[in-house]
């Protein structure tokens, strides 16, 4: 007795459409751009600088911090997926004048005994033009956290010594020191404050791309 051929005919009719669909999906996957992976970088303190300047009477006095560290996670295809975090040793402030630096470390300014770290954690990264970013984040000074926006120039990427990929950035921002409780001032004869409230921040960064960790060697087999 012959079996019905209805089911086999249906399968034969559907098979070309199924093959066409699989081919289309495979083609789409082949031509679609690869998803860029996040690249992780470590800030190189030996080739970076964290500086600032503030008005003293009529001129601006520069300063810097000599000890800091930071990490950058970036996606060059979509900068909005990037982030940065930095920690600065407040006690490393250096204005090339030891007595002034001692004053800056006191509770009149940074109060490093209570607040040894200045930190920045990004909350958003936006590309505003080719090789130009706006990085907003939370800046903490003397235990007070306020939002700050950094204007960042992307200087480039390329291999350094040993073939390790390096990245360069330059950032600028302005903050009001009073917002962070750094309020000390003095009045000169005839009126007028010794220090201004606006602080200009200037940062130069060279960062090294983290290398993948080598696979762990298998443990030697123990003898019988």
Q: Give the residue, 221 or 134, on which the prediction is more confident.
A: 134
pLDDT at 167 over 90: yes
> Is residue 174 within 8 Å of 152, Cβ to Cβ?
no
Which of 15-19, 79-83, 202-206 is predicted with the least confidence, judged by mean pLDDT?
Answer: 15-19
Specify the pLDDT at position 189.
77
Coil vs helix vs strand at 151: strand
Task: List, as one string, the DSSP characters of 159-170.
Answer: E-GGG-EEEEEE
Domain CATH number, residue 89: 2.40.128.110
**Cβ neighbour number for residue 188 with a 10 Å cutoff:** 9
Specify the pLDDT at position 161.
87
**DSSP tag of 193:** B
**Would the pTM of this model clear 0.85, i.e. be above it?**
no
- Residues 87-141 pLDDT 10s: 999 999 999 999 999 999 999 999 999 999 999 999 999 999 999 999 999 999 9
Structure tokens at 70: 């930071």
Sole residue written with tokens 């402030």: 93
Tell whether 120 is covered by a domain.
yes
Quote the domain boundaries for residue 88: 39-209
> Is residue 80 within 8 Å of 124, Cβ to Cβ?
yes
Tell whether 114 is covered by a domain.
yes
Specify the pLDDT at position 166.
97
Tell whether 145 is covered by a domain.
yes
- Residues 9-59 pLDDT 10s: 444 544 554 444 444 444 444 444 444 589 999 999 999 999 999 999 989
**DSSP tag of 97:** -
The number of domains in the chain is 1
């Amino acid at each position: 007795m012959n079996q019905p051929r209805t089911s086999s005919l249906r399968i034969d009719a559907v098979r070309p459409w199924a093959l066409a669909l699989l081919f289309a999906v495979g083609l789409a996957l082949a031509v679609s751009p690869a998803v860029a992976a996040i690249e992780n970088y470590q800030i190189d303190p030996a080739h970076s600088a964290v500086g600032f300047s503030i008005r003293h009477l009529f001129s601006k006095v520069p300063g810097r911090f000599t000890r800091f560290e930071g990490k950058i996670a970036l996606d060059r295809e979509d900068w909005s997926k990037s982030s940065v975090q930095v920690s600065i040793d407040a006690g490393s402030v250096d204005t090339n004048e030891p007595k002034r630096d001692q004053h800056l470390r006191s509770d009149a300014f940074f109060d490093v005994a209570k607040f040894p770290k200045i930190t920045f954690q990004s909350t958003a990264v936006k590309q505003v033009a080719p090789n130009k970013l706006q990085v907003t984040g939370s800046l903490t000074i003397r235990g007070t956290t306020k939002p700050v926006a950094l204007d960042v120039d992307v200087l480039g990427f390329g291999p350094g010594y040993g073939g390790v990929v390096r990245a360069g950035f330059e950032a600028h921002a302005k903050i009001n020191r009073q917002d962070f409780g750094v309020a000390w001032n003095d009045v000169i004869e005839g009126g007028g404050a010794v220090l201004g409230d606006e602080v200009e921040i200037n940062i130069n960064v060279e960062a090294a791309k983290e290398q993948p960790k080598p696979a762990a060697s298998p443990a030697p087999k123990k003898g019988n």
